[in-house]
Amino acid sequence: MSMAHTLHDYLQRHRAHFDVMHHAHSGCSMETAAMAHVPGDRLAKPVLLKDDLGYVMAVLPSTCHVGIGALNRRLGRHLQLAEEWELDDLFSDCEPGAIPPMGPAYGIHTVMDEMLAAERDVYFEAGNHEDLIHMQMDTFLDLMAKADRARFAHRL
């Protein structure tokens, strides 16, 4: 599978400058960072959460866990992890487990952790388990302009 169509269209519409890096098939974000030889702090991962108001995508470094309590306090919500089957429906153009951390492309409210925003560049899944998108953080922040920013992640 190639780059997710929704992601590709979003990047093209915003005229984003990026590179695609191919790597061996991986199963999780930390494995992806190791196989692609990229720092885990610069590999962005999404965590999809939900409550009665809808979905929220938390975007954070792959070296961290999402602090759901901190995020709930920040947003004034009662979020919990979304179910796997919901991910398949929302991200039908992506391989399971390879969702890009680009909530705005999918119309999902997004919150990005400040630790990730402090990096100079970023890598993230392209919608499959063998390609990473690489771009400068300024470009990523432009693409995430509608996303909230907060501190909610904690190191593994």
Of the candidates 50, 63, 51, the one whose C-alpha atom is nearest the C-alpha of residue 113 is 63
Q: What is the pLDDT of residues 108-150, one digit of tens each?
A: 999 999 999 999 999 999 999 889 999 999 999 999 999 999 9
Domain count along the chain: 1
SS3 of residue 27 by DSSP: coil
Tokens in use for 138? 């300024």
CATH code of residue 72: 3.90.960.10
Indicate the pLDDT class of residue 1, thresholds 50, 70 and 90: low
Asked if residue 39 has pLDDT above 90, the reply is no
pTM, two decimals, is 0.93
Residue 155 contacts residue 64 (beta carbons within 8 Å): yes
What pLDDT was estimated at residue 129?
A: 86
Runs of H (alpha helix) within the chain: 5-13, 29-36, 68-75, 84-90, 114-117, 137-143
CA 105 and chain centroid, separation: 11
For residue 118, give its domain range. Answer: 5-155
Ramachandran angles phi, psi of 72, nearest 5° = -60, -45
